[in-house]
Structure 1
């Protein structure tokens, strides 16, 4: 049975979406191709009509997930620095983001796996992350502040996810929001 070209692209996007959720929840390396394909409702054989290898899937997943994060950042409706910062902090540093890694940003979920990946995957990660960094730089007015905010957001989620106590998780999120607001709002004055 022949499928239209747009069907194959649509199915690839579905596979990336479902694989992204599973990888962010369970880890990419810990999840086999069979598990990814079973979650997507296709056979393992169908995998190879979309990806040449598991590493090819990882590269495509990282690219797609970071593009998704970029779209979120790009859709911040605020123009003033204080409002822009508040929106990002309140959107990113949430209990929901902690509890639902599968629905959240790829950075705290898979950055450590990217660090162990091949250079091709690292380069894809770098290219897409630099797009986000440029957007943060545009709003914050400084490349160093953009890196600091990105790292602070990701680090806060990563550390809070490793804590079993919900009240301590909330304290970590709130402490980071307060510190970043104070620092970045002070710069805006």
Structure 2
């Protein structure tokens, strides 16, 4: 039976969803094409009707995983503003996030591996990473886009680094200590950011 274009598109999306989750859980080398196809309930031969190679799948799945994170962040920030940013940080720096890499941030899960991946995988990931940075920067105070971006980048680095370290420690007091220390550091920076925002507003009124 001939598969329609609509069904092909559905199948392809399913493969991306599965690959994006499994790569985050097991890493790029821990997932095979056969694993993805079996979970999707498709034959191994059908893979090449969607992707030219595992590398092509890895590139699109990595970008897809990061896009999912970006979409969640953007929705949270747009709906709740600075309160949304606080909720985002709390949810990110949590044991639940540590325990569920498959549905969590793609940077924390896959970032450490990207330097060893082929250029197409790195490029696809980098393009979506820019979108994530822009989402955070849009809610940072600053006189211009460059200043807002300069505040978003360290925030992202703190959060991602905290999850990578905490996962390395496993379920231990050290993992909890890392999360709490970074949470407090971000909160302290947030206080100064709020002060800066109020000062900027005061200067504008004056």
Same fold (TM over 0.5): yes
List structure 1 runs of 4+ shifted beyond 6 angstroms.
Answer: none
Separation of aligned partners in 2, 1:143 and 1:11: 37
Q: Which residue of 2 aligns with 1:164?
A: 170
Q: Which residue of 2 aligns with 1:96?
A: 96
Summarize the alignment of residues 88-127 of structure 1 with structure 2, pairs less than 5 Å apart. 88-127=88-127
What do the CA deviations read for 1:80-105 (whole angstroms, capped 9, x no partner)?
Answer: 3xx23311111211111101111211
Summarize the alignment of residues 11-90 of structure 1 with structure 2, pairs less than 5 Å apart. 11-76=11-76, 77-80=79-82, 83-90=83-90
Q: Is the 8 A contact 1:29 1:113 kept in 2?
A: no
State the shift of 1:23 in Å.
Answer: 1.1
Give the 3-state SS of the residue equivalent to 2:51 in structure 1.
Answer: coil
State the shift of 1:118 in Å.
Answer: 2.1
Q: Which residue of 2 aligns with 1:8?
A: 8
Query: How many residues get paired?
Result: 187
Separation of aligned partners in 2, 1:45 and 1:122: 26
Separation of aligned partners in 2, 1:103 and 1:166: 22
What do the CA deviations read for 1:45-72 (whole angstroms, capped 9, x no partner)?
Answer: 1111111000100111011111101111
The two structures, once aligned, show a CA RMSD in angstroms of 1.4
Q: Which has the higher contact order (CA 8 A, sep 6+)?
A: 1
State the shift of 1:120 in Å.
Answer: 2.2
Give the 3-state SS of the residue equivalent to 1:159 in structure 2.
Answer: helix
Structure 1 or 2: larger helix share?
A: 2
Asked which structure has the greater CA Rg, the reply is 2
Separation of aligned partners in 1, 2:194 and 2:2: 58
Structure 1 residue runs of 5 or longer lacking an equivalent are none
Q: Is the 8 A contact 2:65 2:106 kept in 1?
A: yes
TM-score by length of 1: 0.93
Separation of aligned partners in 2, 1:100 and 1:70: 17
Separation of aligned partners in 2, 1:172 and 1:11: 40
